[in-house]
Amino acid sequence: MTSATSGRWAAWWAWVLEVAAVAILYYAAGRIGLTLQLPDTNASPVWPPSGIGFAAVMLLGYRIWPGITIGAFLANLHTLPPTAAGLGASCGICFGNTLEHILGLFVLRRLVGSRNPLERASDVFWFVLAAGVGCLIASTNGATNLWMWKIIPGSIYGQVWLAWWLGDVAGILILAPVIFTLFQQSEFGWRGMRVLEAIALFVLLAAVTQFLFGDNRGWLDLELMDSLAYAVVPGIAWAAFRFGPRETALAAALVSAVAIVNTSNGSGPFYRQPADIGPRAVRSSDEGSTITLPELNAGEGTQMPGGTAEPSDLTRRQRAESLLMLQIFVVAIAITAAMLAGAVTERDRSEQALRDLNATLEQRVVARTAELKQANEALERSNQELDDFAYIASHDLREPLRGINTYSTFLLEDYQDKLDEEGQSKLNTLQRLTRRMESLIDSLLTYSRVGRTELAVQETNLGEMLAEILDSLDVVLKERGVEVRIQQPLPTVRCDRVRVGEVFRNLITNAMKYNDKPEKWIEVGRCNTDAALEGSPCAEGFPATFYVRDNGIGIREKHLDSVFRMFKRLHGRDQYGGGTGVGLTIVKKIVERHGGQIWLQSTFGEGTTFFFTLQRG
């Protein structure tokens, strides 16, 4: 035998054991249910087997159905008269009882899915609905069977049906949560005060219920007692708020049990003393004996009509009333308990989930911040290293270069008479090249310096600064015939005066150099919120943005991105006054060190506008 087959056999045997256990429990519960019958009726207000059956399908699934069928068949067979009719009715009823749980579970799974239905208020509502819908089958099937086999007359079909239905529903609502929650994990530790509190709760609840339902008429005879029955609800709430669904279900079961036992003993607010059965003192001696009531064979606890006198209509009505009130009480308590426990559990769960979420969020924020900080530090370090490298490399490169320049100058000076024109020209080229090399290295140095050194931030009057710059460029500007227009007076801002001066000087010099129009102009200004001036280059929503605009040669769109790239030139080395191609790279770096941004708009052949800000944001 392979292990796979042995595994299958083990599973089969486990199933057989489960089915047998459910059948036995169901049957035993049926026997207990019969002892809960109200006086002078065969009706059990609560049919405990339906609670067993429903808990069984909730815990074990549809496959447990044979256990329910067998248990229900035996319980009914034991209860119904030992005749062919009794056997037939038992067969009919047991399938209805099985279907009740199959349908109930189907509805429950449809509405709630596979999660625990007692942990949310809305799920509890569906749980109640599933129980109610499932029990419709059992009560309809049961009452019809009893009527068909002529065990009850058609005249009380409605009463039997209702009592059956309510009894089954009450059984499910009271017992199924108790059994089901027994198999769920308890959420808190049972320690010290907690145990004491639980004991206090159950003792107090039992005592109060006993007081309300027991024989207290001697010293508290109030019409109010009927509604006082519901005074147990605060105790249920106590269980729900201080403990879990399991304890709340137990509390509801305890209250129901005490209420039913007392009512079946002929006391309590729901007991209506039948008019035709003497005073209670007399009747109580009959306790334990079964008085058969053909009119009210509710639940499966039905017995053959027997030799008692026909009760009056009044008696019948009072008995039906007692039963109905008790059943409604039990169902109401059960629903209240399950709803409260579900709502409280749901609240606790969501609070816990929120706390967990907060904790994980905090953790994630901390972790992420640490990561970012690390990445930032690494980036800063590598930036710093790059700047240091650029500085040191360029600094050390300059010395030999200076030597070459110096010695070629010496040659030109000392050997002027020995060198012919061609030799001198070549030496001049050498000098020109070293000067170019030097200016490239200088640019690199300046660039790295902007990144390396702290900004000397101070209040700077940009208007004055611009005037100084234009003053120093005056000769060149006049020479080239460039008109500079200052659109708005520039403000005083906090910035590095020298560096921002470089930005303006560079942009203005560029605007001046890259211009081939006969009438050249440069416009310097600042965008205001209200600067929707005619012809202003400011798009809306760019306050505190400075701009330098020209009517120069413009930049082709495909080059817009590369103008800020180091040593990138768009034109030949000797066109437009030459240059190293690092000016805009430095400008960008300065602007960014201030936390600002720089961008441009350009139309090829018409002009360019550079925009920049000096602040974050």
Q: Which amino acid is at 309?
A: A
Q: Which residues pair with 603 in a beta bridge?
A: 607
Q: Which residues pair with 610 in a beta bridge?
A: 548, 600
Site for another protein, rule CB under 8 A: 395, 398-399, 402-403, 405-407, 409-410, 442, 445-446, 449, 453, 456, 498
Q: How many CB atoms lie within 10 A of CB 574?
A: 7
Burial of 209 (0-12, 13-18, 19+ CB in 10 A): buried
CB 301 within 8 A of CB 49: no
Report the nearest approach of another protein to the CB of residue 456 (Å).
Answer: 8
Residue 560 backbone phi and psi in degrees, to 5: -55, -35
3-state DSSP assignment of residue 410: helix
Report the nearest approach of another protein to the CB of residue 428 (Å).
Answer: 17
Q: Comparing C-alpha atoms, which of 482, 470, 563, 556 is closest to residue 517?
A: 482
Between 402 and 573, name the residue whose CB sits nearer to another protein: 402
Report the nearest approach of another protein to the CB of residue 594 (Å).
Answer: 16
Report the nearest approach of another protein to the CB of residue 440 (Å).
Answer: 15
Report the nearest approach of another protein to the CB of residue 398 (Å).
Answer: 6
Name the DSSP class of 539.
P
Report the nearest approach of another protein to the CB of residue 615 (Å).
Answer: 23
Report the nearest approach of another protein to the CB of residue 382 (Å).
Answer: 24
Q: Which amino acid is at 541?
A: G
Report the nearest approach of another protein to the CB of residue 446 (Å).
Answer: 7
Between 115 and 395, name the residue whose CB sits nearer to another protein: 395
* Both structure tokens of 406: 């110096």
Token look-up 């040669």 returns 553
Report the alpha-carbon distance of residue 203 to residue 229 in Å, rounded.
17
Report the alpha-carbon distance of residue 464 to residue 60 in Å, rounded.
88
3-state DSSP assignment of residue 483: strand
Residue 460 backbone phi and psi in degrees, to 5: -130, 125
Token look-up 């050249």 returns 520
Report the nearest approach of another protein to the CB of residue 377 (Å).
Answer: 27
CB 511 within 8 A of CB 503: no
Between 36 and 445, name the residue whose CB sits nearer to another protein: 445
Q: Comparing C-alpha atoms, which of 217, 175, 144, 231 is closest to residue 58?
A: 175
